[in-house]
Structure 1
Amino acid sequence: MTRKYKVLFLCRENSARSIIAEALLRELAGHRFDAFSAGPEPAARVHPFAVAQLRPGISDLGILSPKSWLEFTGEWAPRMDLVVALDESVDAHHTPAFPGEPASCTWAFADPLADDIAESERARLFEKVFWQIVRQMSAFIELPQYATPASVAATAAAIPALSAATQRVTTCDA
């Protein structure tokens, strides 16, 4: 039986980048991965520009919602294999301890919700970030260590390969 890897994507409000990453991983490789997303300060709803980027190709937008990362810290929480921070302010020094001691890394993408972005440019930045996440996710799901069942230790050992393969990972801790 093939094991599904559990991946948690984090960003501050869990309304844009992490939601996009969760939806893309579920859509592109849901047969091999269980995808989740969360953040320390979850927004009230998924950002409309994130929904607009996902709408053309994602089959089940209704299951996407901002969540607190605390939902993934209890005894009952699913045991993640990998935690990916998509927000530079959400790194290993700020994240809570997740059960099972999953591997972690950071993929750096611009924040399309940053206060210094002109509203007239926000939709364009959302599109740019969306396609950057698509490219990163495509490289990630093609990594050979995710093609067959592996232990958490093997997953952790694979994190440097992810960095070399994608050149978008800024920090990784195995």
Structure 2
Amino acid sequence: MNILVLCTGNSARSILLESILTHRSDGRIKAWSAGSKPAGQVHPQSIKLLAKEGFPTDGLTSQSWDDYAKPDAPIMDAVITVCGSAAAEECPYWPGAPVRAHWGVEDPAAAAPDEQPEAFAEAYRLLGARAEALFALPFEDMAQAELQTALNKIGQS
């Protein structure tokens, strides 16, 4: 399954979920991430946390979602947005994906610098738990409507 993870800045939450989905799904998911207004670099705390958790960090980039709208881009099976629901931030919309879901998490990069390690750890914990709920499903065999319902339910947990 190909999943595109979207957020506005593509430096923290979307990067975390991209890594979790790709590297913890036992090859069942390939994820990419992008932003509607990319920050241009991955947040250093994202790199630090992912390295600590044993994820590869080479090649992680903050990029525009325009890169995934090109004709030669991978075809996505699902698009998951991760912007915070109460953060008053613009959340990107991706047209045309067969399945779209929102797994909102507050932006850890918006925390005070001394609170960022804890904020990033909490975002990682929430996104990791949602990813594990997805991994527990037989998503390869689910109809689109069934997958849509499951992804929405996961996003509300």
Taking structure 1 as the reference length, what is the TM-score of the superposition?
0.79
* Pair 1:143-2:137 in alignment: yes
Number of aligned residues: 153
Shift of 1:130: 1.0
Q: Is the CA contact 2:22–2:29 (under 8 Å) kept in the aligned structure 1?
A: yes
Taking structure 2 as the reference length, what is the TM-score of the superposition?
0.86
Deviations 1:48-81, CA, capped at 9 Å, x for gaps: 1111111123342102111100011122211100
Deviations 1:4-63, CA, capped at 9 Å, x for gaps: x10000111101000000011111015111110000111221111111111123342102
Q: Is the CA contact 1:27–1:58 (under 8 Å) kept in the aligned structure 2?
A: no
List aligned pairs for 1:1-174, cutoff 5 A. 5-87=1-83, 88=85, 89-91=89-91, 94-98=92-96, 101-114=97-110, 117-146=111-140, 148=141, 154-164=143-153, 166=154, 168-169=155-156
State percent identity of aligned pairs: 29
Q: Determine the C-alpha separation between the residues in 1 that align with 2:108 and 2:73.
A: 29
Q: Is the CA contact 1:145–1:155 (under 8 Å) kept in the aligned structure 2?
A: no
For 1:136, give the aligned amino acid. Answer: R
Larger Rg: 1
Deviations 1:101-129, CA, capped at 9 Å, x for gaps: 32101001111122xx3222122111111
Unaligned runs of 5+ in 1: none
> RMSD over aligned Cα, in angstroms?
2.0
Q: Is the CA contact 1:85–1:107 (under 8 Å) kept in the aligned structure 2?
A: yes
Q: Determine the C-alpha separation between the residues in 2 that align with 1:156 and 1:79.
A: 18
Unaligned runs of 5+ in 2: none
Q: Is the CA contact 1:8–1:82 (under 8 Å) kept in the aligned structure 2?
A: yes
Q: Determine the C-alpha separation between the residues in 1 that align with 2:146 and 2:134.
A: 14
